[in-house]
């Protein structure tokens, strides 16, 4: 297949490009000016320079994709959740999708988020679990899904909406929890956890990438949770990192702050029925992340 990827130089985008190229697909990657060096050269990879706001339509038309994986978004840790940039990405994503459909692209796989759901102690199911985003980020993704679904129906196209849970792994933004904890422990700094009991569904970025490729190859046309189905607390993850570094004594559970955004754990049954299953165990994924930081 011929796959065009936005956000191709980002954390999830890079992992997906690697998986798609390894799977024998031709990949067109959208890279912002000055960022193309983040992608490894490969005969099956075509890099085009541009942005969502100023797409390289001539290059994209020449590439003639069968499907677009839309991964571009604001992802800066500590910023993305409340940023007004979320609304801009909604507008630019819709305009970009209009251009795709006008050029005959019949399938879009777009990245959503577990933050679209209302927190629940039960595993979250795409068909039954109530939505209730509690941040500008979650609300923007929810609004984009509704609008993109309408666009796709009008164009006779397919839309797979991948609700990503808690991705981690080597190459993640440096301010994310796993990288922050690993860096600080490695130099002997104490780590105090603000929300040690917060429960999330941690999924390695390579497993996210294989899930997205499954949605592409299966021409999926629905909402799909991309998570492991296993809930772990922030403290569990931090102490796993500490054990790998031999610094368990430096992890301290602070006074428990309210976790207004969780718990969030996927029911991945729909994705598993497509033949996918997670392959990277948490300790293995965290070990690889630690090695990458060294």
- Cα–Cα dist 125/130, whole Å: 9
Q: For the chain, which residues make up each domain, given as ranges?
A: 2-169+202-230+264-279
Task: Tell me what pLDDT residue 77 has.
Answer: 77
The string of pLDDT tens digits covering residues 5-52 is 999 999 999 999 999 999 999 999 999 998 988 898 899 999 999 999
List C-alpha distances in Å: 75 to 10, 82, 233, 235, 292.
9, 11, 22, 23, 20
pLDDT tens per residue across span 138-172: 999 999 999 999 999 999 999 999 999 999 999 99
Which of 215, 199, 198 minimizes the C-alpha distance to 163? 215
Q: Roughly how many angstroms between the first and final C-alpha of the chain, as a whole number?
A: 36
Cβ–Cβ under 8 Å, residues 161 and 110: yes
pTM of the model: 0.96
- Residue 256's pLDDT is what? 78
Q: Which tens digits make up the pLDDT trace of 176-205?
A: 999 999 999 999 999 999 999 999 999 999
Cβ atoms < 10 Å from Cβ of 189? 11
Please tell me the predicted confidence (pLDDT) of residue 214: 98
User: Between the CA of residue 13 and those of 30, 55, 123, what are the distances in Å?
Assistant: 10, 17, 26
Cα R_g (the chain), whole angstroms: 19
The two three-digit tokens of residue 49, written as one number: 């320079």
Q: Find out whether 96 and 52 touch, Cβ atoms under 8 Å.
A: yes
Residues 6+ apart with CB under 8 A from 241: 178, 181, 182, 185, 286, 290
Rounded Cα distance between 69 and 72, Å, is 9
DSSP one-letter string for 131-172: B---SHHHHHHHHHHHHHHHHHHHHT-EEEEEEE-EEE-TT-
Rounded Cα distance, 50 and 30, in Å? 6
Please provide the average confidence, as pLDDT, over all residues in the chain: 96
Whose CA is closest to 135, among 288, 29, 285, 262?
262
What element of type H or E holds 27?
strand 26-31
Give CA–CA dist 126/130, Å, rounded.
9
Which band of pLDDT confidence, cut at 50, 70 and 90, is reported for residue 257?
Answer: confident
Domain 2-169+202-230+264-279 has CATH 3.30.470.30: no
Contact present, 144 and 207 (Cβ < 8 Å):
no
């Amino acid at each position: 297949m011929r796959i065009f990827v936005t956000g191709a130089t980002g954390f999830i985008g890079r992992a997906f490009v690697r998986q798609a190229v390894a799977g024998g697909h031709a990949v067109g990657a959208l890279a912002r000016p000055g960022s193309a060096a983040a992608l490894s050269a490969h005969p099956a990879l075509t890099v085009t320079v541009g942005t969502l706001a100023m797409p390289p339509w001539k290059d994209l038309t020449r590439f003639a994709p069968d499907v677009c994986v839309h991964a571009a978004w604001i992802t800066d840790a500590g910023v993305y959740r409340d940023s007004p940039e979320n609304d801009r990405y909604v507008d630019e994503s819709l305009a970009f999708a209009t251009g795709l459909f006008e050029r005959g692209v019949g399938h879009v796989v777009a990245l959503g988020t577990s933050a679209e759901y209302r927190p629940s102690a039960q595993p979250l199911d795409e068909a039954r679990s109530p939505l209730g985003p509690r941040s500008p980020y979650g609300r923007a993704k929810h609004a984009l899904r509704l609008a993109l679904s309408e666009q796709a129906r009008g164009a006779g196209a397919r839309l797979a909406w991948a609700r990503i849970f808690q991705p981690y792994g080597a190459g993640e933004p440096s301010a994310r929890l796993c990288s922050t904890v690993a860096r600080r422990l490695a130099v002997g700094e104490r780590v105090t956890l603000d929300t040690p009991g917060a429960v999330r569904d941690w999924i390695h970025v390579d497993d996210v990438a294989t899930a997205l490729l499954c949605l592409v190859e299966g021409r999926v046309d629905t909402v799909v949770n991309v998570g492991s189905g296993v809930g772990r607390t922030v403290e569990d993850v931090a102490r796993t990192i500490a054990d790998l570094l031999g610094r368990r004594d430096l992890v301290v559970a602070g006074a428990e702050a309210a976790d207004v955004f969780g718990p969030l754990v996927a029911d991945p049954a729909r994705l598993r029925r497509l033949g996918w299953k997670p392959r990277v165990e948490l300790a293995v994924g965290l070990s690889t992340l630690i090695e990458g930081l060294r």
